[in-house]
Homo-oligomer: A and B are copies of this chain.
Amino acid sequence: MCESNAYIITSGKEQNIIEGVALMEIKGSLIRLVSLFGEERVIEARVKSLSLVDHKIILEPIS
């Protein structure tokens, strides 16, 4: 299983927004995250980093 967890940085801290992300799609400033469990989140943010070793997708708010 290679899914990752997605976090958004809020006040300098990583806040988990969705677990088990299988798919991420970006359109303009919107990021759509879909988990293996069928959960879906659409969030206005930017991708900061992705670590497939740590299974972490890090997003940051659009300032």
Contact = CB atoms under 8 A, between A and B. Distances in A.
Interface of A: 2-4, 21-26, 46-53, 55, 57
A49 B22 contact: no
A1 to B, nearest CB: 8
Helix, strand, loop or mixed for chain A's interface?
strand
B49 A47 contact: no
B23 A52 contact: yes
A51 B52 CA distance: 12
A28 to B, nearest CB: 10
9 contacts: A3-B52, A4-B52, A22-B52, A23-B49, A23-B51, A23-B52, A24-B49, A26-B47, A26-B48
